[in-house]
Each structure stands twice: as C-alpha cells, then as structure tokens.
Homo-oligomer: A and B are copies of this chain.
Amino acid sequence: MTERSVNHATFVIRRSFAATPARVFHAFADAATKRRWFVEGEGWTIEAFTSLFEVGGREHSRFRFGNDPAISNDTIYLEIVPNERIVFSYTMTVDERPISVSLGTLEFVAEGEGTCLTYTEQAAFLNRLDEPREREIGFRELLQALAPLVERPPVDA
C-alpha cells in the first residue's frame, strides 16, 4: 500500500446575520464587496482578485501574508439560485502546490428579518498539506469579517 494522499472530509457551518438573504447573498455575488471580506486584511498583500459571478464563471485570488508563500484560490461557480443558493468548487494552492479541492454549498434562508446561512464544504485535502479543522476555523473567520458589511450598525438609544 502506498501512503494515502487524499483526506476527504465534510464540515457544516451555520451562522445568522441581521440582514436579509438578498443582502447577504449580494456580499458573495458582488465582486467589490466580496474582495473586502474575502481577501483584504491588515498585513495581507493582494496580488490578484478577479471574479465572474455566473454559472461556469471563475474567480481567482492570490494573496500572501508578509513575506509568506503566496496562497491562491481558484473558484468556479457551478450553480446559482439568486438569493437562495450558490454551489462552487475551489482549489487552494500554497507556493503553487495544490493543498485542497473542495465543493462548497451556500444556502441562504430567511429567519425573521435576518438570514440563516448554512455553508457545507465537502473537501479533498491533498498531500497532507492542510486539514478540515483549520479550514473550518478559517471560514468562520471570513464570515466574521463579512458580518459588519451587511448588518446595520446598532442605533444609539
């Protein structure tokens, strides 16, 4: 037996937002908004960010933290139901080496005046270069960065 070089895993994240499904969906669909929460951040250099949000369309980003190796994300949008669902694949590389290929499903469901977002990632981690728990933490952090872009600031009493 050779060493198994693919680790398949699934994780699910649910998070509520105080914003309508249309508004949360827009933060994924609109390239300028997505860039803000998905790749921008203190200490990060963005070397590329292009997005074509349509079925079959591709999104490419490339970024690095300080002098660390470049990380790239190549997303392909596979199914889109406006304000309800986005299904996509994405491949991550570090220093040009693929570390994972994933299928991501985003489901946006109205919850009172807000939204319950469910994200399901079905991933193939390659060559022992990343692992499910790290990926799940990373995506939770991204949603934490997204929240203030869609939620209204609290009104002063």
B-contacting residues of A (Cβ < 8 Å)? 1-2, 4-6, 8, 10, 76, 78-79, 85, 87, 89, 91, 98, 101-103, 105, 107, 109-110, 120, 122-124, 126
A89 — which chain B residues lie within 8 A by C-beta?
76, 78, 89, 103
| Cβ B6 vs Cβ A8 within 8 A | no
A78 — which chain B residues lie within 8 A by C-beta?
89, 91, 101
Known A76-B76, A89-B103, A101-B78; contact A2-B122, beta-carbon cutoff 8 A:
no
Known A79-B98, A101-B78; contact A85-B6, beta-carbon cutoff 8 A:
yes
CA distance A87 to B5 in the complex (A): 12
Among B2, B79, B85, B120, which residue has its beta carbon within 8 angstroms of that of A109?
B2
A110 — which chain B residues lie within 8 A by C-beta?
2
Known A8-B10, A79-B91; contact A124-B101, beta-carbon cutoff 8 A:
no
A1 — which chain B residues lie within 8 A by C-beta?
109
A105 — which chain B residues lie within 8 A by C-beta?
6, 8, 101, 124
CA distance A79 to B99 in the complex (A): 10
A87 — which chain B residues lie within 8 A by C-beta?
6, 101, 124, 126
CA distance A122 to B107 in the complex (A): 17
Q: Which residue of B lies closest to A109 (CB)?
A: B2
A124 — which chain B residues lie within 8 A by C-beta?
87, 103, 105, 120, 122
